[in-house]
Amino acid sequence: MAKGMREIKRQIKSTQNMKQITKAMELVAAANLKRAQTAAEAGRPYSDKLKEVVSSIATGGGSVKHPMLQTREIKRTAYLIITSDRGLAGGLNSALLKRFVDTLKSKHKSNNEFDLFVIGRKGRDYLKRREYPIKQEEVGVPDSPKFAHIKSLASAAVTGFEDGTYDEIYLVYNRFVNALSQIPTVKQLLPLDASALEGTKQAGPSADYEYEPSAEDVLNVLLPKYAETLVYSALLENKASEFGSRMTAMSSATKNATKRIDELTLTYNRARQAAITQEISEIVGGANALV
């Protein structure tokens, strides 16, 4: 009985230590989530203004044409997949990668029809184990990423579309809704939808831009930058999703640890009570034998 009680006490101590870890991770994830949301909000004015200028040129009269706005026959596709470097984030990465693999199987007959650009160790390892063709990878992106951390990868994918290597590019990431909800998303990045750009124009007076040397030259510079900005925005959303999912997962783990500690403590108290009762019975029995 004493051996069993010692084992229960060790389990209680171990669970208490685990609870301290999960609680600390929950608090860290909550702080990181706040920073990620702030970063995403801080980048929106730049992204919105860039989108406004691109929209003004692309829909300004129909005379301006650009390959990034034109649909062509699909011969080869690029996918830009954004996952986390670390786990302990619930089903965040597994749900996204399952959605992505299902998309690959439905759209392509062989691995020769697409290339993958992967951000995040979890996605890289998952896809490598299944022998998917990874063209370029970026791991070790910090919790507060800058555009410079993924510029090379984003630029390579966008340039591949510009020079005709790829006929379409898709973004694969977790869209952040709130700390409890993250949506696995597969969204077309290129070609850009000119009608969607036009639909984002705000009501009321709009700015009248003059372009030098020409609208076409400005568009040639802005469209790749805009596409790369969309990649960076998706990275920030995925980071917020990661922290939200980890915070929720660690909160659930902390609650489960508390429940487990209560159960083990109850078991320990019952075992201790039974041991005391047995000792009293033995003492009483021994005293009666001496009478």
Domain ranges, residue 50: 27-248
Mean pLDDT of 131-146: 92
Q: What is the pLDDT of residue 256?
A: 95
**Neighbour-count burial of 279, counting CB atoms closer than 10 A to its CB (0-12 exposed, 13-18 middle, 19+ buried):** exposed
User: 253 falls in which pLDDT band (50, 70, 90)?
Assistant: very high
Does residue 13 lie within any of the structural domains?
no
Does residue 16 lie within any of the structural domains?
no
Between 38-52, 219-233, 262-276, the lowest mean confidence (pLDDT) is in 38-52
**What is the SS3 assignment for 86?**
coil
Does residue 138 lie within any of the structural domains?
yes
Q: pTM for the full model?
A: 0.83
Does residue 9 lie within any of the structural domains?
no
Amino acid in position 44: R
Domain count, the chain: 1
User: 195 falls in which pLDDT band (50, 70, 90)?
Assistant: low
Does residue 118 lie within any of the structural domains?
yes
User: 1 falls in which pLDDT band (50, 70, 90)?
Assistant: low
Higher pLDDT, 60 or 142: 142
- Look at residue 204 and tell me whether its pLDDT is greater than 60: no
Rounded alpha-carbon distances, angstroms, from residue 153 to 68, 96, 175, 195, 269? 18, 20, 20, 27, 59
For residue 65, what is the domain's CATH number?
A: 3.40.1380.10
Between 51-65, 78-92, 163-177, the lowest mean confidence (pLDDT) is in 51-65
**Neighbour-count burial of 8, counting CB atoms closer than 10 A to its CB (0-12 exposed, 13-18 middle, 19+ buried):** middle
Between 130-139, 209-218, 243-252, the lowest mean confidence (pLDDT) is in 209-218
Most confident of 65-69, 228-232, 271-275: 228-232
Distance, in Å, from the CA atom of 33 to the CA atom of 201, rounded to the nearest integer, reads 30
Higher pLDDT, 86 or 212: 86
Alpha helix (H) residue ranges in the chain:
2-58, 92-107, 121-129, 151-162, 194-199, 215-290
Does residue 232 lie within any of the structural domains?
yes
Share of the chain above pLDDT 90, in %: 55
Q: What is the pLDDT of residue 46?
A: 78
Does residue 277 lie within any of the structural domains?
no
Distance, in Å, from the CA atom of 153 to the CA atom of 82, rounded to the nearest integer, reads 11
Mean pLDDT of 62-85: 84
> How high does pLDDT run on average in the chain?
86
Does residue 201 lie within any of the structural domains?
yes
